Structure 1
Amino acid sequence: MNRIKEILKKQGRSQIWLAEQIGKSYVVVTNYCNNKSQPSIPTLKKIAKVLDVDIRELLEPTKNN
């Protein structure tokens, strides 16, 4: 599970904007945002760079500390 949609909303950015920034179609980004599919690690890195966040912020934690 990822938090891309949540971070986009926080930053006031759209899925269309993100799709343009990372060179993916709007449909692909929508699927990422709705957790219907997950981006590859290289794509996740690109998304983190474009959104200026640590890549870990894009992911749901799998373990409680």
Structure 2
Amino acid sequence: MANKDLNRIKLVLVEKKKTGKWLAEQLGKDQTTISKWCTNSNQPDIESIMRTAKLLAVDINDLLISNNVE
């Protein structure tokens, strides 16, 4: 199975000048969990995506990669 990037969390954190450590603290998650999200080796649940979007003041769609093209 091909490894596909499904989220843009790492890019949005950089754009907002925030760190994975900051996000982990805000969400009450382990930094390792956030790191896995940022490298797309693991994906957050929908509640975590919604909370992340709110914390970063972005639309939830800004955190997701569109897969419209196959």
TM-score by length of 2: 0.88
Q: Whose Rg is larger? A: 2
Question: How many angstroms does 1:51 deviate by?
Answer: 0.6
Q: Structure 1 regions of 5+ residues with no counterpart?
A: none
Q: Aligned AA for 1:3?
A: R
Which residue is 2:32 aligned to? 27
Please state if 1:55 is matched with 2:60: yes
CA RMSD of aligned residues (A): 0.8
Higher percent of residues as helix: 1
Q: CA deviation at 1:29?
A: 0.2
Number of residue pairs matched? 64
Identity %: 39
Shift of 1:58: 0.2
Structure 1 CA distance for aligned equivalents of residues 48 and 17 of structure 2:
21
2:41 corresponding residue in structure 1: 36
Superposed displacement of residue 37, structure 1: 0.3
Structure 1 residue runs of 4+, over 6 Å off? none
TM-score, with structure 1 as normaliser: 0.94
| Aligned mates of 1:20, 1:40 — CA distance in 2 | 17
